[in-house]
Amino acid sequence: MIDALPATRPRVWRLQFSLRVFLLAFTAFAVGFPVWYRWPYEEVAQESPPGSPNLLRRITTWQRQWGGNRLKHGWERMEENGKTVASLMYRNGLRHGPYKDAWVSGQFENDLKEGVWTAPDRTSTWHRGKLHGPYELRLPPKDLLTNEPRKFQLVFSAGRLTHFNGQPAASRLFDRMEDASMDQRIRNELDKLTSIDAVEMPLKDCALYLSEVHGIPIALDPSLQFQAPGPDMPITEEFQGIDLCSVLTVMTAPRGLGCDYRYGSLWITTAEDTNNWRDPTGVLESNHLAAACSPACGTKGPALMFSKCR
């Protein structure tokens, strides 16, 4: 007698795959996840205040970093009512690539300006973040009779102004900037871009203006008081987007003046005095004072160069 077979129950489904499929899936994940994780993505931030008729948006491209941080990587754009008004390329958090806004266009390399930058009023040439090459300024006319725009041709070399309208524009200040004696804060400010729009402004007021804008002392040599027109010498200049050191050079050199660094201040004096100056007070050159200074500086011996102490 044959017993009846028990009724077959439905088999419980279990996920089953071969080792080959598992290997392929794992490989796909290992390749795909990092690509997805690091793939740049865009983030939109609204910059205009609520209720503003203009919709201003900043669209930034980010890249996730291993460890949880993120860096800008790709285009960053400003859009006004859907129209791009400024764009800048980033690479690994640094500005790297074209920059363009309504006025200015140029190129960055590793966060430093590089190549030709153009704006309606100037064309400048940069190398590794420093002005290097021709720089043309085109300013609106001041003479209403001729109505001709004013052009200034400057030439820079590694951030140093070398020529102004075809004439050599040497400045002792550029040399002093490489001197360890100069206060670091003043050196930093000399490198910063500045702007001045002076019409018949006395020299002393120009110095005071730049001093206040940059927060550094700028002094006029007392001897200028005894030379006409001295501190009241009228200055008519307009500069934008040039470093402070070059602006001071252009303001002083064509007028027989010079700029130096003395006693912790930028010092405007005559060109002749700039070239031949020796400290008459004994403060800067006294070996005795240098020796007195040395313990405070953590250095030894009276033969120490005084400049290292300041």
Residues that bind other proteins (CB under 8 A): 217, 219, 222, 262-265, 279-284, 286, 288-289, 291-296, 309-310
Q: How far is the CB of 264 from other proteins (least distance, A)?
A: 3
Q: How many CA atoms lie within 13 A of 12 on its CB side?
A: 1
Spatial separation of the C-alpha atoms in residues 152 and 131, rounded to whole Å: 15
Spatial separation of the C-alpha atoms in residues 177 and 163, rounded to whole Å: 18
Task: Name which of 236, 207, 243 is nearest 224 in CA terms.
Answer: 207
Strands 218-220 and 265-270: parallel
Q: How far is the CB of 103 from other proteins (least distance, A)?
A: 37
Question: Which residue's CB is nearer to other proteins, number 206 or number 216?
Answer: 216
User: What is the phi-psi region of residue 35: left when phi exceeds 0, alpha when psi lies from -120 to 50, beta otherwise?
Assistant: alpha
Q: How far is the CB of 281 from other proteins (least distance, A)?
A: 4
Q: How far is the CB of 255 from other proteins (least distance, A)?
A: 22
Q: How far is the CB of 296 from other proteins (least distance, A)?
A: 4
| Paired tokens of 201 | 């402004």
Secondary structure in 3-state letters for 87-137: EEEEECCEEEEEEECCCCEEEEECCEEEEEEEECCEEEEEECCEEEEEEEE
Question: Which residue's CB is nearer to other proteins, number 70 or number 262?
Answer: 262
Question: Which residue's CB is nearer to other proteins, number 156 or number 261?
Answer: 261
Q: How far is the CB of 132 from other proteins (least distance, A)?
A: 33
Secondary structure in 3-state letters for 246-268: HHHHHHHHHHCEEEEEECCEEEE
Question: Which residue's CB is nearer to other proteins, number 141 or number 282?
Answer: 282
Q: How far is the CB of 226 from other proteins (least distance, A)?
A: 13
DSSP letters along 278-300, please? --SSSTTT-HHHHHHHHHHHT--
Question: Which residue's CB is nearer to other proteins, number 49 or number 222?
Answer: 222
Rounded to 5°, angle at Cα 134 from 132 and 136: 130
Q: How far is the CB of 165 from other proteins (least distance, A)?
A: 34
Spatial separation of the C-alpha atoms in residues 177 and 259, rounded to whole Å: 12
Question: Which residue's CB is nearer to other proteins, number 275 or number 287?
Answer: 287
| Paired tokens of 232 | 């009241």
Question: Which residue's CB is nearer to other proteins, number 61 or number 286?
Answer: 286
DSSP structural state of residue 40: -
Question: Which residue's CB is nearer to other proteins, number 104 or number 219?
Answer: 219
